[in-house]
Amino acid sequence: SIASADMDLNQLEAFLTAQTKKQGGITAEQAAVLAKFWKNHRAKIHESLVSRSRWDSVLRSLSWRVDLKAQSRHLEQINTPVAIVEMELGKDGQ
């Protein structure tokens, strides 16, 4: 929860306080350790999560094929492919 919300120090303090008050939650010592760890590693954790969520390198190797219906007069013709559009993203320096 802390990492996905990219909590600042005020949010972190409020979150950890709530966790210590929950039945079966964490102890004050555990909260202190988590707070210290987050303060020291927040930037590194955030950068790691952002790099995992980027599609840049993945999209370069994808080819998409989309069948499009350009025109239809009758209900039976819906979902009948008429034109095929093929896209390649990020290949050959483009």
Per-residue pLDDT at 35: 95
pLDDT digits (tens, 9 = 90+) for 9-41: 999 999 999 999 999 999 999 999 999 999 999
Its pTM stands at 0.55
How do the domains of the chain map onto residue ranges?
Answer: 3-53, 58-90
Q: What is the C-alpha separation between 13 and 52, in angstroms, rounded?
A: 27
pLDDT digits (tens, 9 = 90+) for 28-83: 999 999 999 999 999 999 888 887 777 665 655 556 666 666 566 666 666 666 66
Per-residue pLDDT at 70: 58
Pair 15, 1: CB distance under 8 Å: yes
CA angle 93/48/29 to nearest 5° reads 175
